[in-house]
Structure 1
């Protein structure tokens, strides 16, 4: 495919996303309909789509549109201007590129500031939290997210994994901030096919999550409940450094569909329980809560989250977070820990949620809390450690 044809394909995918599809299914659907596209074409098209979605507000403005008005064509036009790519090298490059610009489309527009990439109501919350640092944070969130691996140190060492991956065409380097973390420089799409991955020597896991999991107090023995387990990534990180008994639960059990295979690869022993069964269990020494949240810390990986969120959905999430925290109280042993986690940048879901919990449950103390974001780690992430008195 020519460069112009790749942009035309991105326009088609963006139109599907704007019509209601999520990005990955839209990209897959386009790929199924375009068997002629090679792997490099698909990667380039995906990059164009995600570059638009991460910079959607500015791309729309540079095309002379508001975000609700902008079509896929307008957003690609705005992206080209934002990235200082010659528009004439793309538009009008027929037969496979997008058609030439109309006189109206050819009009130039001033470049807005990076704040325009975030809806106004969310911007107000973030300004109150980050103040003058907000523009730098949003600039970091507008870039492509790095890929990180967590080394399973029960099975191998970072040095051995780096060498094994290199033989498979994946170039990874150690991150000086954490001994288990490797940043993938090239070959990220080959990771799951490598012998190191299939043998459970590494798992894909964001650096912020790895840093949080390394910092939380995890007992070497006892009982740990991962209450919002999902695909089990945090349980796998715990199992790599603890011999405690692991129990996994999720409100939607299908989310745990990949756990068995991942656990087999990594050598993790665990059990699963439904919520009603937990009432008949001995209370747990640690209850880990990776609660549903706005996902505002993951905007560069899932940029549509920024535009799907509303004040009403945020309020509903806060209510669910409070309910999960209250449920954890009944499952936590005396002197036990509740570890509360979100992938959110919003104080309302982080510090405010913890303070509200402590007001409702004065029998708990806050031992520590920490927030990560792309300026000091990778994605936005928060954790708090709460101990029963």
Structure 2
């Protein structure tokens, strides 16, 4: 619009975000009652001929300029398309809880919501959004209360699937938070095996107990104490885990389409803090996993500093103990149909809004030698 006034931002949003044609927008600006004043001749002209083709990339992509080099490292020539996809509304996905229902049964039972299967995740359903961009209140549906499903982006579902957790294994969800991936792991394992969930911050674990009960999922919760009484609640498990899932604390840049204000609140020092946190949690995972066991490192970030660089850091610190399992072989084993819709990196794989249609999840797998 050639202007940054609130009025111009609204007009531009209607054109670019909602896809309204210029005549349709003009009909909204009548000046009657509470409607804004009619469009000026300049505004009408900008709606007709205005373009972002020559705008700087950080303007086109609506991201802070300082983070653009990192995003270009990840996306290369696809950066413009990926940033535009990252600025659009995210879909509304649920993961069917296979401990209680199959996806087909859940789709039939939720027919009033008109769900369709997610493109990639085998137990996901996608719920259509309304004209206002909002979805239904899924958390008050009787099926949700009965544990049929959890609200979970398809990318998060796929990240859990790629961990390869199996029945009978000892699996640790090291950064469990509210338990979203713990519930996924329990379903993958069919409640058969030993699943342990913990988190460095006990406050984040608070919702997990009710969620497990509702889902009929079985997991052992290890809650650290706060303050001076704090101890390592996982010390007895060192060297015993078949798999350790690390859903690492990160900047959340892969979820900016859900939280667009977050990208403007993020500062470079926040990235530095997260990088330090990621190194610490990977080192803890390295002590937990048994020889021959695997670590699945996950972030919801698009920044290579938090992804490949974090994995490379562990390899430098423990060069004789760990090796990267090629993402191609992980995909072939767990989700072969996803291969054409994924971006492989030096040490893992990157999901993204434009290529995968999901939030920007990164997944890497490391195996302990021995």
Report the TM-score, using the length of structure 1 for normalisation: 0.75
Distance change >3 Å, CA 323–CA 73, structure 1 → 2: farther
Secondary structure of 1:353's partner?
A: helix
2:330: which partner in 1? Answer: none
Q: Is the 8 A contact 2:222 2:234 kept in 1?
A: no
Distance change >3 Å, CA 223–CA 236, structure 1 → 2: same
Secondary structure of 1:268's partner?
A: coil
1:214: which partner in 2? Answer: 161
Distance change >3 Å, CA 274–CA 264, structure 1 → 2: closer
Task: Please tell me whether residue 257 in structure 1 is matched to residue 200 in structure 2.
Answer: no
Superposition pairs of residues 292-371 of structure 1, within 5 angstroms = 292-362=249-319, 363-368=321-326, 369-371=348-350
**Structure 1 unaligned spans of 5+:** 1-61
Task: Please tell me whether residue 193 in structure 1 is matched to residue 140 in structure 2.
Answer: yes
Q: Distance in 2 between matches of 1:173 and 1:201?
A: 16
**How far did 1:127 drift?**
1.8
Greater relative contact order structure (CA < 8 Å, 6+ sep): 2
Q: Is the 8 A contact 2:249 2:278 kept in 1?
A: yes
Q: Is the 8 A contact 1:172 1:186 kept in 2?
A: no
Q: Is the 8 A contact 1:298 1:380 kept in 2?
A: yes
Aligned to 2:12, which of 70, 78, 87? 78
**How far did 1:107 drift?**
8.5
Q: Could you say which structure has the higher helix fraction?
A: 1
**How far did 1:204 drift?**
1.2
Aligned to 1:182, which of 97, 114, 125? 125
Q: Distance in 2 between matches of 1:312 and 1:354?
A: 20
Superposition pairs of residues 1-389 of structure 1, within 5 angstroms = 62=1, 64-65=3-4, 72-82=6-16, 83=19, 84-85=21-22, 88-91=26-29, 93-98=31-36, 108=46, 110-113=50-53, 115=57, 116=59, 117-166=62-111, 169-185=112-128, 188-242=135-189, 243-275=192-224, 276-283=231-238, 284-362=241-319, 363-368=321-326, 369-374=348-353, 375-389=355-369
Distance change >3 Å, CA 343–CA 305, structure 1 → 2: same
Q: Which moved more, 1:96-105 or 1:298-307?
A: 96-105
Deviation by residue 1:23-61 (Cα, 9 ceiling, x = unmatched): xxxxxxxxxxxxxxxxxxxxxxxxxxxxxxxxxxxxxxx
**How far did 1:310 drift?**
2.1
Secondary structure of 1:281's partner?
A: helix
Q: Distance in 1 between matches of 2:80 and 2:29?
A: 31
Deviation by residue 1:97-143 (Cα, 9 ceiling, x = unmatched): 44667999889494324831122121222223322111111222222
Secondary structure of 2:302's partner?
A: coil
**Structure 2 unaligned spans of 5+:** 225-230, 327-347
Aligned residues: 321
Report the TM-score, using the length of structure 2 for normalisation: 0.78
Q: Which moved more, 1:83-92 or 1:236-245?
A: 83-92
Q: Distance in 2 between matches of 1:144 and 1:296?
A: 15
**How far did 1:88 drift?**
4.5
Root mean square deviation, CA, Å: 2.5
